[in-house]
Structure 1
């Protein structure tokens, strides 16, 4: 009889112990039991930095994260989000409006955000969180000396002096609707002295070396602050706003309630000046995006 009890009690103890271990491993809402939040990004410097920031603040909030950075261009990142291959990535309001939704351009920041927010929710069940004040819109820039020499501070000024100016930029800018054709339509059918078509990475070198007077730029390019360039005012409001914000799957927000607060606290810190500086740390000083992101978040008290 004792031997029978022994054989019964030992398996029961084993079952109870296993049950306790399973309960400990699966109990509560611990992040260890949650599926990881998959953070994506597109394939350029600013996206790498901000993608790393998103991942880091989520980890700081106690959430598991899987990085899927450097996915490719907008169509690839958007499709990955729609298909549930990623849960969140940084996107620009202007890109959402023009490239994804294919809606008409609009220069009103709030109107653009409200439009993309509503349409993404209705079409894709995706949520736009708080946008940052930074605006990585297309732009034209000059050196301080060049701006003073020609008396050019706005795109209207540039159009008036166009016959004296050489512009440098990527080849597609000559034909894109939001490139030279769009500028001419909005600001008058001016004629530049010359347009130098170069690889995008050579634009700023050509400008500061004196090979051109005006360069095609984007609002948060690191070279703008590094070389103290003057961004020409888009005084006729041609270019739409390109504020950046996390775009998130609704299902991810529901399963990870803390992620919205963690990401929204970052938004106010991302200004044009901040992103110009951080972008140049990577593009100009060849530092790793993860290192630059971590250093910034530590300085701001988010890590």
Structure 2
């Protein structure tokens, strides 16, 4: 009888522990999960968060990289599989909400993202971490010089003969993707190729592409003498980068919220571009450049 009672008590204790959920860190804290897209900047941001959380608390952060697009990240946050991420304000116009009013104003777009995503997913969408990573149409420098192209509209007479390289998500999106682009500018490119961002830049460097959907923070723009064209139809929305976190985590662990608050407006576009260059072109690890950045900025104890 005593043996059965002991077993029952042990089973109850195990169920209670399971109900408390979550792994524990080596120091007895929590283990949080950061979901990062396939771009280099969210991978660097993930390392920045990981380093600061692990240096300043008893918690640990694990990182899942190369998530295809923001809807997958948001769905994983909704299922409590991810606790943190870095997302971009312009995502609020990307078919998530039917009644959002489009704006090209950065502050209004961040506010829209904070209100709508915050309510829908029970997250805090922090103010911008400091940099923008916006879509832009870029062409080879020699093409601009020979044809005198300054605006996206200037491409229309040549578009049927041009090869466009872009990332897969831009082709698939409606509002701020290729379909919306065609509606705004009234033309389409003769050859559209969806690919990884690194292959896109290699393609235009090797004269296999004429036009790419560049990201304004990417160092390859200057490295390969690409020219950003004026978005004369004001088609592309602002894409200010912000950290996001589940409210349950922030409520239960204010020390984590303090770290996120302190990261607002700490990484400029120029700084992130240099960090990406170190990773993508110089072959350094995201962890190495993130730690060096934090040390240089005096953000590590």
Q: What TM-score do you get using the length of structure 2 for normalisation?
A: 0.77
Larger radius of gyration: 1
Cα root mean square deviation, aligned: 2.9
Per-residue CA deviations over 1:67-89 (Å, capped at 9, x if unaligned) read 13216232332122222233211
Q: Any stretches of 5+ residues in structure 1 without a counterpart? A: 1-30
Query: 1:174 & 1:76 partners in 2: Cα distance?
Result: 17
Query: 1:282 & 1:119 partners in 2: Cα distance?
Result: 33
The Cα of 1:167 is off from its aligned counterpart by 3.3
Gap change, CA 1:85 and 1:176, over 3 Å in 2: closer
The Cα of 1:125 is off from its aligned counterpart by 1.7
The Cα of 1:140 is off from its aligned counterpart by 0.9
Per-residue CA deviations over 1:162-201 (Å, capped at 9, x if unaligned) read 35862331485667534444333222x3465x43526333
Pick one of 134, 140, 149 that aligns with 2:146.
149
Q: How many residues are matched?
A: 270
Check whether the contact 2:166–2:212 (CA below 8 A) recurs between aligned residues: no
Gap change, CA 1:76 and 1:212, over 3 Å in 2: closer
Gap change, CA 1:80 and 1:191, over 3 Å in 2: closer
SS of residue paired to 2:116 = helix
Per-residue CA deviations over 1:136-160 (Å, capped at 9, x if unaligned) read 222111244433332223223333x
Q: What TM-score do you get using the length of structure 1 for normalisation?
A: 0.76
Pick one of 54, 62, 67 that aligns with 2:57.
62
Query: 1:80 & 1:129 partners in 2: Cα distance?
Result: 19
Check whether the contact 1:144–1:229 (CA below 8 A) recurs between aligned residues: yes
Residue 246 in structure 1 maps to residue 269 in structure 2: no
Query: 1:171 & 1:260 partners in 2: Cα distance?
Result: 33
Residue 45 in structure 1 maps to residue 43 in structure 2: no
Check whether the contact 1:165–1:212 (CA below 8 A) recurs between aligned residues: no
Query: 1:109 & 1:272 partners in 2: Cα distance?
Result: 14
Q: Any stretches of 5+ residues in structure 2 without a counterpart? A: 1-25
1:104-253 to 2 correspondences below 5 Å: 105-159=102-156, 161-163=157-159, 166-170=162-166, 177=174, 178-187=176-185, 189-190=186-187, 192=189, 194-195=190-191, 197=193, 199-200=195-196, 201-253=198-250
Residue 79 in structure 1 maps to residue 75 in structure 2: yes
Query: 1:293 & 1:142 partners in 2: Cα distance?
Result: 30
